[in-house]
Structure 1
Amino acid sequence: MLSQLYAKWMYAWETALTTRDQNRIERPLEWGFDYLADFGGEEAEQKVASGELTPLAAMTALNARIAADPHSFFDYATPTDFRIEQRYPELFPTNVRPETLEQEREYQRQAEVGELRREPFLRFTSPVRTPYPENDMVNARWYPAEPGKKKGTGERRPKQAMIVMPQWNADAFSHNAFCTMFNRFGISCLRLSKPYHDVRRPLELERSDYAVSSNIGRTMSACRQAVVDIRSCIDWLQSEGYEQIGVLGTSLGSCYAFIAAAMDPRIQVCAFNYASTWFGDVVWTGQSTRHIRSSFEHAGLTQDQVRQLFLAVSPMSYMAQFAATPRHTLVVHATYDLTFVREFSLEVLKSFDAHQIEYTSKVLPCGHYTTGETPYKYLDGWYLGSFVWRTFKQLGQGS
């Protein structure tokens, strides 16, 4: 009885949090072949125009083609314009609640009167280009740290770093606390702004809608850009002498981090703060993407079709590639999640087992959005922080 009451209360709380923002916009279905022009999108669009294929068949075939040869999609040329800029941190909120807008004004005031300190940001041009110049300028707040010491010898451990990828529609301060915490362990951090997020967000948007939307090609392009940006950050870290590198991704950031790890064996530590199977299933079943599902339903699409339309950006498509490189992996999921539905998270663990991937699993007694609330945020922080600390300590000792 108590468990049923708790579940009812948790689902109600989770629903309240996912419905409080009123600026989610339902946009019509767009195929977005132009965003994939250099990977067969132009050819597919021509076949649609000639009547040889329907848009659904053309985009489904394009996804299958990319998933069968992912390195052609996720490989890149290393940027040549890496630089550190000293800038005032800005909030870049994605909701219009009064308390959030007041917080943004306060940060602006502090910057104007000199109460806010400039902080270092890694900036470079993304190897993946989009129609939005602001989105193509990668932004990662830099949290450098002095390496810890090897136990018993007093020698410095290898230089270690984490790349942190927050959730969809995160503001620019989200997950900064993780970076500060990891610094205390002697681990440097890059808090990476995802495509179409905070300073990379086009001025026409209130939210980071273009990262995940009813425009299929643009959503796929955003994933490709995020994966390439993570790998580019690794290039810069290695140029700075970092030898042991990990990624922490939350929600959508977890999807991006997983695919980056599957494509790049240099990632030795993975912390997936929520994980799911097929990108399209999350879009179809998640509360936070209900407006996108509505667009697809109005266009006559089904869940199975949407799953195939996002095959190329689904972690499940790249399990074999991920399994090919031994690494330290943590997966966190929540019992009452209405965004990354629990059954999909459990399928990830089953797939890990089937591919003989070693991992640590932790379960939160809350939902997706309630993870950010007290006391669950502290439990989540403990799971992630203790795993990263322990794993990098072992790596640093050479064990």
Structure 2
Amino acid sequence: MFRWAFHRWEEAIHNRSTDRLVREFDWGLEWLHDLPHTPDAPDTDHPVASPAATLQAYAAWAVDHSDQFFASTDAPGYDLDRHGHLQFPSEIVTPHAENNIVHARLYRAREDRGRAVVVLPQWNSDADGHVGLCKLFNRVGLTALRLSKPYHDWRKPPELLRADYIVSSNVGRTLQVCRQAVLDARRAVGFLHAQGYSSIGICGTSLGSCLSMLTAAHEPRIKAAALNHISPYFADVVWEGLSTRHVRQGLDGHVDVDTLRRIWAPISPQPYLERVRHLRTLLVYAQYDLTFPLRLSKSFVQEFRDRGIPHQLAVLPCGHYSTGKAPFKFLDGYWLTKFLARAL
């Protein structure tokens, strides 16, 4: 009965948005031209195989050489104004000038003890998303840096109503833009480190959770990760999730989920589980989630248990969208804040 009620609520919240577009399928090989190349990497500039085979070969290389795939340097300069609005250049140059400048908002704790958290909100979050969470972190002595993901809010070109270019039926673009998000997050960590913060964590929700896991797995300056809504595979969430039904429509008939899982493996948490063994990690999932289906969240938690990877677990008695509604948002915020305050 509870499941039925929450699932109906989730569907109702989802259906309030009428601006979702089913975009044409594209392998997006041109987006791979700016991906890292080494002598042992597949030649994506002059592929000899089919687009699917080329992408799978590159993805396999990227997983095996993820330190190169997610290699990052701190930004050459950071521009922080008196209102706490931070800007710096993205490490990746895309065809959209707006997207090539990273925006973030800094919320300093009143009692600053050198502890800070990079905050990555959910997919399609507006500029005010997770500001309340940042202020809650401030109350327990954590400075928060709220990061705008690629193609979101300030970084969205005029042609977009939603942040479609970070998750879409353009397969190569999705791979590249999610990689860009990780490199941006690493540069955000670099800013905090340069500001004197020695104990740095990361907190992400939904898509932000996936990107936070990838960042934490490759950024040695991160000590703790709070992952809010979880799945082992990027492709499976897109294929099965409520929020990505329109993306699935664009993919159907062009690629199957097994192929997509291999192509998007570099931007999936599963391959990098062993890389977070040293971290303090919180896993959060929602009991009635239709966007991150429950079986995927449970399988991810089971992977942590089977491998003996240290973690804490919290289960929300709600769905994905309803996590943002009272009283569940207060419960979620409490768990995230309590964990990070102790872990850092």
Band of TM-score, shorter chain: over 0.9
State the partner residue of 1:322. Answer: 276
- Of the candidates 157, 161, 164, which is equivalent to residue 209 of structure 1? 164
- 1:227 corresponds to 2:182: yes
State the partner residue of 2:4. Answer: 8
Report percent identity of matched pairs.
40
Q: CA offset at residue 379 of structure 1? A: 1.2
Q: Give the whole-Å Cα distance in 1 for the aligned partners of 2:221 and 2:307.
A: 20
- Asked if the contact 2:62–2:69 (Cα under 8 Å) also holds between the matched residues in 1, the reply is yes
Q: Secondary structure at the match of 1:287?
A: coil
- Please give the per-residue CA displacement for 1:61-85, whole angstroms capped at 9, x wherever unaligned: 1111111101111012221121103
Q: Secondary structure at the match of 1:44?
A: coil
AA aligned opposite 2:257: Q
Q: Give the whole-Å Cα distance in 2 for the aligned partners of 1:257 and 1:126.
A: 17
- Asked if the contact 2:42–2:58 (Cα under 8 Å) also holds between the matched residues in 1, the reply is no
- Asked if the contact 2:103–2:147 (Cα under 8 Å) also holds between the matched residues in 1, the reply is yes
Q: Give the whole-Å Cα distance in 1 for the aligned partners of 2:223 and 2:36.
A: 29
- 1:122 corresponds to 2:74: no
- Of the candidates 173, 186, 200, which is equivalent to residue 245 of structure 1? 200
AA aligned opposite 1:330: L
Root mean square deviation, CA, Å: 1.5
Q: Secondary structure at the match of 2:165?
A: helix
Q: CA offset at residue 39 of structure 1? A: 3.3
Q: CA offset at residue 238 of structure 1? A: 1.1
Q: Secondary structure at the match of 2:319?
A: coil
State the partner residue of 1:307. Answer: 261
State the partner residue of 1:72. Answer: 68
State the partner residue of 1:236. Answer: 191
Q: Secondary structure at the match of 1:333?
A: strand
Return the TM-score normalized by structure 1. Answer: 0.82
- Asked if the contact 1:144–1:187 (Cα under 8 Å) also holds between the matched residues in 2, the reply is yes
Q: Give the whole-Å Cα distance in 1 for the aligned partners of 2:3 and 2:190.
A: 45
- Of the candidates 289, 293, 308, which is equivalent to residue 356 of structure 1? 308
- Asked if the contact 1:249–1:257 (Cα under 8 Å) also holds between the matched residues in 2, the reply is yes
Q: Give the whole-Å Cα distance in 2 for the aligned partners of 1:192 and 1:371.
A: 20
Q: How do 1:371-382 residues align onto structure 2 when only pairs under 5 Å count?
A: 371-382=323-334
Gaps of 5+ in 1: 87-118, 149-156, 393-399
AA aligned opposite 2:269: P
- Asked if the contact 1:33–1:42 (Cα under 8 Å) also holds between the matched residues in 2, the reply is no
- Asked if the contact 2:42–2:57 (Cα under 8 Å) also holds between the matched residues in 1, the reply is no
Q: How do 1:1-399 residues align onto structure 2 when only pairs under 5 Å count?
A: 5-37=1-33, 38-39=35-36, 43-44=43-44, 46-47=46-47, 52-86=48-82, 119-147=83-111, 157=113, 159-299=114-254, 301-323=255-277, 326-392=278-344
Q: Secondary structure at the match of 1:46?
A: coil
Q: Give the whole-Å Cα distance in 1 for the aligned partners of 2:281 and 2:266.
A: 22
Q: CA offset at residue 239 of structure 1? A: 1.0
- Asked if the contact 1:60–1:308 (Cα under 8 Å) also holds between the matched residues in 2, the reply is yes
Q: Secondary structure at the match of 1:128?
A: coil
Q: Give the whole-Å Cα distance in 2 for the aligned partners of 1:77 and 1:391.
A: 26
AA aligned opposite 1:219: T
Return the TM-score normalized by structure 2. Answer: 0.95
AA aligned opposite 1:120: G
- Asked if the contact 2:166–2:178 (Cα under 8 Å) also holds between the matched residues in 1, the reply is yes
Q: CA offset at residue 356 of structure 1? A: 2.1
Q: CA offset at residue 253 of structure 1? A: 0.3
Q: Give the whole-Å Cα distance in 1 for the aligned partners of 2:76 and 2:57.
A: 34
AA aligned opposite 1:122: L
Q: Give the whole-Å Cα distance in 1 for the aligned partners of 2:337 and 2:190.
A: 24
Q: Give the whole-Å Cα distance in 2 for the aligned partners of 1:378 and 1:184.
A: 14
Q: Give the whole-Å Cα distance in 1 for the aligned partners of 2:212 and 2:98.
A: 22
Q: Give the whole-Å Cα distance in 2 for the aligned partners of 1:206 and 1:85.
A: 28
AA aligned opposite 2:259: Q
Gaps of 5+ in 2: none
Q: Give the whole-Å Cα distance in 1 for the aligned partners of 2:319 and 2:263.
A: 27
Q: Give the whole-Å Cα distance in 2 for the aligned partners of 1:42 and 1:364.
A: 43
Q: Give the whole-Å Cα distance in 2 for the aligned partners of 1:39 and 1:32.
A: 16
- Asked if the contact 1:147–1:160 (Cα under 8 Å) also holds between the matched residues in 2, the reply is no
- Asked if the contact 2:42–2:61 (Cα under 8 Å) also holds between the matched residues in 1, the reply is no
Q: CA offset at residue 305 of structure 1? A: 1.6
Q: CA offset at residue 42 of structure 1? A: 8.9
Q: CA offset at residue 45 of structure 1? A: 5.2
Q: CA offset at residue 321 of structure 1? A: 1.9
AA aligned opposite 1:137: I
AA aligned opposite 2:261: R
Q: CA offset at residue 281 of structure 1? A: 0.5
AA aligned opposite 2:324: G
Q: CA offset at residue 20 of structure 1? A: 1.7
Change in Cα spacing, 1:31 to 1:71, as seen in structure 2 (3 Å) is same
Runs of 4 or more consecutive aligned structure 1 residues displaced over 4 Å after TM superposition: none
Q: Give the whole-Å Cα distance in 1 for the aligned partners of 2:49 and 2:279.
A: 42
- Please give the per-residue CA displacement for 1:206-236, whole angstroms capped at 9, x wherever unaligned: 1111110111111111111111111111111
Q: CA offset at residue 22 of structure 1? A: 1.0
